Structure 1
Amino acid sequence: MTDKSNTPAEYKDSWRTPPELFSALNAEFSFILDAAASAMNALCRHFITEEQNTLETPWNSVMPDIPGYAWLNPPYSNVTPFVQKAAVENAEHSTGCVMLLNADTSVGWFLEAISTAHEVRFITGGRLAFLNAETGKPVSGNNKGQMLIIWHPWPRTHCEMKTIDRDALLSFGARLMKRAA
């Protein structure tokens, strides 16, 4: 999906999550499932591949039978179905989800997300450096900030808006990774 003939949107769809970010968030959420992965880049023991299609596969059929969180860094070219899927999995199976998305409050999927999610965390202080899917090296060209949309595995009362500093988050994740090495 990352050859030179693809459009920029398709290329960006394959960017990988910075490991420091995932490490920091995993310390908080103890992810059970990577809901959009491949065998080569899965961040969790349990994962759903593009061929398995996370939009059609019930997440609880892949996750162990315990309440918990799925990690989801979806393709940014078409976010709406992934927001809808996280909302359905949360409502029907009490599955939590943490989704990494562009920080854009002007799009329809954002309104849809905040009508079902528990929390939005805007990542402040700079943009994330995603990784090239083939080389694993940081890529330049991320022209937007990011946010986390969070569905908790318990009943929803409202949606909170929060901020988290990018450097603090990545520094914490790097410290965790260094300790684990």
Structure 2
Amino acid sequence: MNNTVKSHNRRNNRALTAEWSTPLPLFNALNDEFGFTLDACAQPFNTKCTRFFTPQKDGLSQSWEGERVFCCPPSGTRELRLWTKKALEEAQKKDTLVVMLLPVSTDSQWFQENIYHQPGVTIRFLPERVKFVNPVVPSWVDGNDAADGKKSSGSMRPSMIVIFTGSKKPFGVE
């Protein structure tokens, strides 16, 4: 088998399927507005907050009570269902706010169950696709040079910011 071809295959190359980081300008704009205290789904190399949960600490099994949470969960239907359900539940706790960066998937079950028409939930659809950052993506992957020289990739789908406040305020779109 030709190793060069194999290395270009997304399924066989961990660098292409590895975790991608939220771009700092997007995070900073959200952080300026919400003042995050916890990154619920991160790795030491991509966390945006001093306090964070790694996969080993399992943010899904931890309490987020009293935190102002940023969360950009792994993609995949099962993962998104678990993380959005957790966000909806945690936002009901005292002094807890959850802000998630998610793919737009309004026809998905996780969206219908945990976001759409839920009280205290607000959606902001982003006007352009997020260019996630990955420091381990090989230079031969087209379009991965961000302005800061790190590797980035445009999302395959549009993205949205979902804000879970836990309030009785009706579902909204801004």
Distance 2:18 2:69 in 1: 19
Q: SS in structure 2 opposite 1:36?
A: coil
CA deviations over 1:17-38 (Å, ceiling 9, x no partner)? 0000000000000001000112
Corresponding residue to 1:140 among 140, 153, 164 = 153
RCO comparison, higher one (Cα < 8 Å, 6+):
1
Alignment of structure 1 residues 84-99 onto 2, 5 Å:
84-99=85-100
Gaps of 5+ in 2: 1-6, 138-148
Distance 2:111 2:135 in 1: 26
Distance 2:18 2:60 in 1: 16
Distance 2:134 2:125 in 1: 23
Q: Give the total of aligned pairs.
A: 150
Match of 2:53 in 1: 48
Residue pair 2:135, 2:151 contacting (<8 A) in 1 also? no
Match of 2:129 in 1: 127
Match of 1:179 in 2: none
Corresponding residue to 2:173 among 129, 153, 161 = 161
Match of 1:76 in 2: 75
Tell me the amino acid that sits aligned with residue 107 of structure 1: S
> Could you say what the CA RMSD is over the residues aligned between the two structures, in angstroms?
2.4
Q: CA deviation at 1:13?
A: 6.2
Q: Greater shift after overlay, 92-101 or 14-23?
A: 92-101
Distance 1:120 1:93 in 2: 21
Q: CA deviation at 1:156?
A: 2.3
TM-score (norm 2): 0.76
Alignment of structure 1 residues 8-23 onto 2, 5 Å:
11-12=16-17, 14-23=19-28
Distance 1:81 1:16 in 2: 20
More helix by share: 1
Q: CA deviation at 1:58?
A: 1.3
Distance 1:44 1:156, change over 3 A: same
% identical equivalent positions: 31
Distance 2:46 2:153 in 1: 20
Match of 2:37 in 1: 32
Tell me the amino acid that sits aligned with residue 122 of structure 2: E
Tell me the amino acid that sits aligned with residue 34 of structure 2: F
Distance 2:156 2:47 in 1: 25
